[in-house]
Amino acid sequence: MTVFQKFVLGARVLLGLIFFVSGIIGLLKLAPFPAPNPQAERFLGALIQTGYLFTIIMAIQTACGLLLILGFFVPLVLLVLAPIIVNIVLYQVFLNPSPIGLLLGFGPLVLEAGLAYLYRDAFLALFHIRPEPS
């Protein structure tokens, strides 16, 4: 295994662990999600009070994390996780603008962007302006 392959594997597994562990914690309610301020508390409360949205997000994170760890469907998983990661970054920037919060937001974003770049060939077909049906 080359150094490059080790780097890709490490980035993929690290991103997978981040989402798998946080998804399990959220699904099983193993730890509270502390809100740093009233705005963040209202936002998290709204997600939880819907009765389904928070659970679906945590289930998606858990499944995607596991798939990344195992190395299955990596480009698809990166595509599914992209809006979740954008929302995490925006939450950290606007509702929890602390150094730790920004690290929690931008860490997964950097891993996601790096992996998306490394798997860029798998995404090329998505950017055809007028694709022909097969």
Give me the pLDDT at residue 96, please. 86
Is 26 within the bounds of a domain? yes
Give me the pLDDT at residue 104, please. 85
Give pLDDT < 70 ranges for the chain: none
* Structural domain boundaries, residue 100: 3-124
DSSP 104-121: HHHHHHHHHHHHHHHTGG
Q: What is the pTM of this model?
A: 0.90
Is 92 within the bounds of a domain? yes
Count how many domains the chain has: 1
Is 131 within the bounds of a domain? no
Give me the pLDDT at residue 133, please. 86
pLDDT tens, position by position, 101-133: 888 889 999 999 999 999 999 999 888 899 888
H, E, C per residue of 34-68? CCCCHHHHHHHHHHHHCCCHHHHHHHHHHHHHHHH
Is 18 within the bounds of a domain? yes
Is 94 within the bounds of a domain? yes
Is 134 within the bounds of a domain? no
Is 79 within the bounds of a domain? yes
Is 133 within the bounds of a domain? no
